[in-house]
Amino acid sequence: MSSTPGNVFRMGGYVLKTPPLQERGAEIVIAPVRNKTGKVKQAVITLLESTTLQETQAREQEEQLSRALGTLAASLAHEIQKSAKWSKRYAPVTGT
């Protein structure tokens, strides 16, 4: 749950269980309605269907993971190649 300026609360990560939005992600936003003196008299509660947002975020995380794995593979290949060159160069000197 997070709070933003003006005491608006956001609660995400819910999975709806009733049709027609069954198995869809949702976020609840609660915003106070204040009177002229600033006292909270009512609240506006909004339910936002967020499946598309969640799918986009999941896809972005997969892309970041793929990039990180690519970088790791390139680094490993470089280290293996460097080690192979070293062993070819110095193996006759060390007798191994």
Q: pLDDT of the chain along its 96 residues, tens only?
A: 554 446 888 887 778 888 887 778 888 899 999 888 888 889 999 988 877 777 778 888 999 999 999 999 999 998 888 888 777 777 666 555
The reported pLDDT for the residue numbered 96 is 55
Q: 25 near 17, Cβ under 8 Å? A: no
The reported pLDDT for the residue numbered 66 is 92
Indicate the pTM of the whole model.
0.44
Separation of first and last alpha carbons in the chain = 62
By C-alpha distance, which of 47, 1, 56, 53 is closest to 26?
A: 47
Strand order in the sheet with 2-4: 2-4, 8-15, 25-34, 40-49
The reported pLDDT for the residue numbered 5 is 47
The reported pLDDT for the residue numbered 72 is 92
Q: 66 near 45, Cβ under 8 Å? A: no
